[in-house]
A and B are shown apart, each in its own frame.
Chain A
Amino acid sequence: MWPNKFDYVRAGSVDEALSSITDDGKFLAGGHSLLPVMKLRLDAPEQLVDIGRIPELQGISANGGLTIGAAATHDAIASSADVQAMCSALASACGQVGDQGVRNFGTLGGNIAHADPASDPPTVLVACGATVNIQGADGARSVGAEDFFVDLFETALDDGELITSVSLPNCSDCQCAYVKFPHPASRYAIVGVAVCLKMDGGTCAQADVAVGGATVKAVKCAGAEAALAGTTLDDAALNAAAEAVKSDIADWLAGDIAYPESYRQQMAGVFLKRAVAAAQG
Chain B
Amino acid sequence: MTTRIFGSGIKRREDPRLITGEALYTDDIKLPGVLHMAVVRSPYAHANIVSIDSAAAEAMEGVVAVYTSDDIGDGLAGLPTAWLIPDSDLKTPEHPALAKGKVRYVGDGVAIVLADDRYRAQDAADAVVVEYEELPAVIDPEEAAQEGAPLIHDDVEGNIAFRWAPFDKEASDKVFADADVVVSERILQQRLLPTAMEPRSAMAQYNAATAELTLWCTSQNPHIHRFIISAVTGLNENKVRVIAPEVGGGFGSKIPCYPDEALVSWAAIKLGVPVKWTETRSENYLITIHGRDHVQHVDMAASSDGKILGVRATVYAGMGGYLSTAAPGIPTILHGLLYVGPYTIDSVYCESIGVMTNGTPTDAYRGAGRPEATFLLERMVDNVAREIGMDPAEVRRKNLIPAFEDGYEVAAGLSYDSGDYPAAFEKALGMAGYGDFRRQQKSAMAEGRHLGIGVTAYTEMCGLGPSQVAGAVGFQGGLWESATVRVTPTGKVQALIGASPHGQGSETTLAQIIADELGFPVDDIEVIHGDTTETPMGWGTYGSRTTPVTGAALAVASQKLKEKARVLAAHLMEANVDDIEYADGSFSVKGSPDQAQSIQDVALMAHLAWNMPEGMDPGFEESQFYDPPNFVYPFGTHIAIVEVDAETGEIELQRYIAVDDCGPQINPEIVAGQIHGGVVQGVAQALCEGAVYDENGQLLTGTMMDYCMPKADMFPNFELGETVTPSPHHPIGVKGVGETGTIASTPTVYNAVLDALAPLGVKQLDMPLTSAKVWSAIQDANGGGS
Q: Would you call A184 an interface residue if the criterion is a C-beta within 8 Å of the partner chain's C-beta atoms?
A: yes
Is the beta-carbon distance between A185 and B709 smaller than 8 angstroms? yes
* Contact flags B759-786 to A (C-beta < 8 A → 1, else 0): 0000000000011100110000000001
Stretch at the interface among B119-127, B564-572, B653-661, B747-755: B119-127
- Residues of B whose CB lies within 8 Å of any CB of A are 118-119, 122-123, 126, 280-282, 647-648, 687-688, 692, 700-701, 703-709, 711, 714, 770-772, 775-776, 786
Q: A2-B280, A263-B772, A267-B648 are in contact. Are A258 and B126 (CB under 8 A)?
A: no
Q: Would you call A259 an interface residue if the criterion is a C-beta within 8 Å of the partner chain's C-beta atoms?
A: yes
Q: Which size bracket describes the interface of A in this complex?
A: 20 to 34
Q: Which of B281, B708, B771, B786 contacts A185 (CB 8 A)?
A: B708
In whole angstroms, how far apart are the Cα atoms of A181 and B770 in the complex? 13
In whole angstroms, how far apart are the Cα atoms of A76 and B122 in the complex? 37
B703 contacts across to A, CB distance below 8 A: 40
Q: Would you call A4 an interface residue if the criterion is a C-beta within 8 Å of the partner chain's C-beta atoms?
A: yes
* Contact flags A175-197 to B (C-beta < 8 A → 1, else 0): 00000010011101000000000
Is the beta-carbon distance between A40 and B704 smaller than 8 angstroms? no
The 8 closest A-B pairs by CB, nearest first: A185-B708, A1-B280, A2-B122, A263-B772, A186-B705, A184-B708, A259-B772, A184-B688
A259 contacts across to B, CB distance below 8 A: 770-772
Tell me the minimal C-beta distance from A196 to chain B in angstroms. Answer: 23
Is the beta-carbon distance between A1 and B281 smaller than 8 angstroms? yes
Q: Would you call A41 an interface residue if the criterion is a C-beta within 8 Å of the partner chain's C-beta atoms?
A: yes
A41 contacts across to B, CB distance below 8 A: 122, 126
Is the beta-carbon distance between A1 and B282 smaller than 8 angstroms? yes
Show 16 residue pairs from A and B whose CB-CB distance is below 8 angstroms, ordered by the A residue: A3-B119, A4-B123, A41-B122, A181-B648, A184-B687, A184-B708, A184-B714, A185-B688, A185-B706, A185-B708, A185-B709, A258-B772, A259-B772, A263-B772, A263-B775, A267-B648
Q: Would you call A240 an interface residue if the criterion is a C-beta within 8 Å of the partner chain's C-beta atoms?
A: no
Q: Which residue of chain A lies nearest to B689 when distances are taken between CB atoms in the complex?
A: A185
In whole angstroms, how far apart are the Cα atoms of A95 and B281 in the complex? 27
In whole angstroms, how far apart are the Cα atoms of A266 and B776 in the complex? 10
The DSSP consensus for interface residues of chain B is loop
Is the beta-carbon distance between A257 and B700 smaller than 8 angstroms? yes
In whole angstroms, how far apart are the Cα atoms of A263 and B703 in the complex? 22
Tell me the minimal C-beta distance from B534 to chain A in angstroms. Answer: 32
Is the beta-carbon distance between B775 and A5 smaller than 8 angstroms? no
In whole angstroms, how far apart are the Cα atoms of A266 and B700 in the complex? 24
A260 contacts across to B, CB distance below 8 A: 772
Q: A5-B123, A40-B282, A258-B770 are in contact. Are A186 and B704 (CB under 8 A)?
A: yes
Tell me the minimal C-beta distance from A151 to chain B in angstroms. Answer: 20
In whole angstroms, how far apart are the Cα atoms of A263 and B647 in the complex? 11
Tell me the minimal C-beta distance from B655 to chain A in angstroms. Answer: 20
B707 contacts across to A, CB distance below 8 A: 185
In whole angstroms, how far apart are the Cα atoms of A181 and B123 in the complex? 39
A143 contacts across to B, CB distance below 8 A: none
A262 contacts across to B, CB distance below 8 A: 786
Q: Would you call A23 an interface residue if the criterion is a C-beta within 8 Å of the partner chain's C-beta atoms?
A: no
In whole angstroms, how far apart are the Cα atoms of A53 and B743 in the complex? 51
In whole angstroms, how far apart are the Cα atoms of A78 and B123 in the complex? 40
Q: Would you call A156 an interface residue if the criterion is a C-beta within 8 Å of the partner chain's C-beta atoms?
A: no
Is the beta-carbon distance between A266 and B705 smaller than 8 angstroms? no
Extra A-B contacts (7), CB below 8 Å, given A1-B280, A184-B708: A184-B711, A184-B770, A185-B706, A185-B708, A257-B701, A258-B772, A262-B786
Q: Which residue of chain A lies nearest to B684 when distances are taken between CB atoms in the complex?
A: A184
Is the beta-carbon distance between A186 and B648 smaller than 8 angstroms? no
